[in-house]
């Protein structure tokens, strides 16, 4: 087992020291993203970006007015919803209250987040809104508790409180809380509304957006769940001020992913600004969160149920989930496992001849800059990888499909059409046995 303190010292043999020099101040992008083209609409209280198939980041939005949230819309027809992004949003009660349609609310949170933000959320839900009553359930913190036993505590509280179908569940926490609360909302009384208030980078840039909900099984991660969209996602970037360094870095694995699979300019921006992100520069964080949400929202709007395109968001996850399952849930953070899994996917892409060695080096460099691991722990064997990957959600008709990079930076494929020897060679290269 690899300790948290040793993670930053893991390295990829194919990589060398980074050639990139970083300026001390935040660097804003200077050209338009090739993938997106935003329509901006002025509102009295929001800056709104519509995530559609032709979305583009506008550099003029990089510096945000903390009093005015930026809004990215997830376009799903009559189930569309906004992602509010900004500083101090928990102090703007109208943002939450407009999405609560009944009189009963259940806040689902954990033992770490509750002392920090539960009172603020209850106040935001009830201030000048006395008809709403709020219950809360506080779960243990950690991936190891993302299971059916813990989920039952949410149902117990909802049933004991006699919540009805007009009730709203609120997920207050990181990815584990968001996934479990969402699954509880999808299942309770066959479906009640829910709201996401993510408090980690990982949840803010990825897991809170798109409606994937669920729990783990001892044989594999996220094998039990449902697609169930929230009413809104409220991202108060101030919650990152209390996030531990290890959790902060973990979230950047998902940010890096977007650049690799579909947004090369964003990746180049990250190479120049990783120091600013690690230093919690508020403008850098706001920009990274917003651009990540735009990428995620566009993909979800085009492929909600992961029939093809959305699967590309799982770069590194098939290897990463095997790491998480192999070492035991909670030992490695999700982003740490995804980082190592991304390096393995990139290595396999290179062995297939689909990318050149410069991309391999850049991936290793940026992950090391982000203080993320670039290889799996020695305890995860080749047989363990194969066993867990065999029950991965992307297996179809017995065939393991993978997300791999192909072509210039910012391009990838979701495929089962690859040389099996390349997969075996990658596993041998990263596994001791």
Task: Dump pLDDT digits (tens) for 202-226.
Answer: 999 999 999 999 999 998 888 999 9
Q: Which residue has the higher pLDDT, 59 or 352?
A: 352
Query: What values do phi and psi take at 423, rounded to 5?
Result: -65, -45
Whether residue 22 is predicted with pLDDT greater than 50 in this model: the reply is no
Whether residue 2 is predicted with pLDDT greater than 80 in this model: the reply is no
Average pLDDT value for residue range 309-335? 95
What is the distance in angstroms between the CA of the first residue and the CA of the last residue of the chain?
Answer: 15
Whether residue 405 is predicted with pLDDT greater than 50 in this model: the reply is yes
The pLDDT of residue 50 is 41
Whether residue 11 is predicted with pLDDT greater than 80 in this model: the reply is no
CB atoms within 10 A of CB 119: 11
pLDDT band at residue 130, thresholds of 50, 70 and 90? confident
The pLDDT of residue 12 is 31
Average pLDDT value for residue range 318-324? 95
Whether residue 270 is predicted with pLDDT greater than 90 in this model: the reply is yes
Whether residue 403 is predicted with pLDDT greater than 80 in this model: the reply is yes
The pLDDT of residue 172 is 98
Q: Which residue has the higher pLDDT, 312 or 13?
A: 312
Tell me if 233 sits within 8 A of 82, measured CB to CB. Answer: yes
Average pLDDT value for residue range 318-329? 94
Query: Would you name the residues annotated as active-site residues?
Result: 190, 212, 254, 296, 306, 310, 314, 317, 321, 334
The pLDDT of residue 25 is 40
Q: What percent of the chain has pLDDT over 90?
A: 80
Whether residue 239 is predicted with pLDDT greater than 70 in this model: the reply is yes
Whether residue 47 is predicted with pLDDT greater than 80 in this model: the reply is no
Mean pLDDT of the chain: 87
Put simply, whether the predicted model's pTM sits higher than 0.85 gets the answer no
Which of 281-290, 393-402, 406-415 bottoms out in mean pLDDT, i.e. has the lowest? 393-402
The pLDDT of residue 66 is 52
The pLDDT of residue 5 is 36
Average pLDDT value for residue range 40-49? 36
Q: Looking at domain 70-242, does it have CATH number 3.30.70.2860? A: no
Q: What is the dihedral of CA 43, 48, 50, 51, to 10 degrees?
A: -170
Q: Which residue has the higher pLDDT, 94 or 30?
A: 94
The domain limits of the chain are 70-242, 292-430
The pLDDT of residue 208 is 95
Whether residue 137 is predicted with pLDDT greater than 60 in this model: the reply is yes
Which of 1-15, 57-71, 229-243, 341-355 bottoms out in mean pLDDT, i.e. has the lowest? 1-15
The pLDDT of residue 393 is 86
Whether residue 188 is predicted with pLDDT greater than 80 in this model: the reply is yes
For 188-200, give one letter per residue: b (16+ CB within 10 A) or e: beeebbbbbbbbb
Average pLDDT value for residue range 422-428? 97
Q: How many CA atoms lie within 13 A of 221 on its CB side?
A: 28
Inter-CA distances, 191 with 97, 210, 324, Å: 20, 17, 30
The pLDDT of residue 433 is 75
Architecture of domain 292-430: Up-down Bundle (1.20)
pLDDT band at residue 354, thresholds of 50, 70 and 90? very high
Task: Dump pLDDT digits (tens) for 75-94.
Answer: 999 999 999 999 999 999 99
């Amino acid at each position: 087992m690899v300790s948290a303190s040793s993670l930053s010292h893991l390295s990829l043999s194919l990589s060398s020291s980074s050639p990139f020099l970083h300026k001390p101040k935040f660097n804003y992008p200077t050209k338009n993203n090739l993938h997106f083209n935003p329509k901006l609409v002025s509102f009295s209280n929001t800056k709104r970006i519509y995530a559609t198939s032709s979305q583009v980041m506008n550099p003029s939005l990089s510096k945000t007015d903390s009093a005015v949230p930026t809004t990215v819309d997830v376009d799903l027809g009559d189930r569309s919803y906004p992602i509010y992004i900004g500083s101090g949003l928990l102090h703007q009660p109208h943002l939450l209250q407009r999405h609560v349609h009944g009189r009963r609310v259940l806040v689902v949170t954990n033992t770490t987040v509750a002392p920090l933000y539960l009172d603020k959320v209850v106040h935001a839900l009830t201030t000048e809104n006395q008809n709403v009553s709020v219950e809360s359930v506080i779960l243990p913190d950690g991936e190891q508790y993302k299971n059916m036993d813990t989920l039952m505590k949410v149902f117990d509280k909802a049933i004991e409180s006699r919540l009805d179908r007009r009730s709203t569940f609120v997920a207050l926490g990181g990815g584990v809380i968001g996934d479990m609360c969402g699954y509880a909302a999808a299942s309770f009384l066959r479906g009640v509304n829910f709201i996401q208030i993510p408090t980690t980078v990982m949840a803010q840039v990825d897991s809170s957006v798109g409606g994937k909900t669920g729990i783990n099984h001892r044989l594999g991660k996220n094998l039990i769940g449902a697609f169930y969209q929230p009413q809104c996602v409220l991202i108060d970037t101030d919650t990152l001020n209390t996030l531990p360094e290890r959790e902060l870095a973990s979230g950047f694995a998902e940010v890096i992913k977007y650049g690799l699979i579909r947004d090369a300019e964003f990746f180049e921006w990250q190479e120049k600004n990783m120091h600013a992100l690690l230093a919690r520069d508020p403008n850098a964080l706001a920009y990274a969160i917003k651009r990540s949400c735009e990428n995620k929202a566009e993909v979800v709007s085009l492929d909600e149920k992961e029939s093809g395109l959305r699967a590309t968001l799982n770069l590194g996850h098939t290897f990463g989930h095997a790491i998480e399952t192999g070492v035991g849930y909670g030992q490695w953070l999700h982003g740490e496992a995804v980082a190592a899994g991304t390096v393995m996917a990139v290595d396999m892409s290179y062995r297939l001849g689909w990318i050149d060695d410069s991309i391999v080096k850049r991936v290793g460099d940026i992950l090391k800059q982000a203080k993320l691991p670039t290889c799996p722990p020695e305890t995860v064997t080749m047989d363990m990888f194969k066993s867990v990957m065999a029950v991965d959600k992307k297996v179809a008709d017995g065939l393991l499909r993978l997300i791999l990079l192909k072509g210039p930076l910012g391009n990838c494929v979701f495929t089962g059409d690859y040389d099996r020897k390349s997969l075996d060679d990658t596993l041998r290269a990263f596994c001791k046995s």
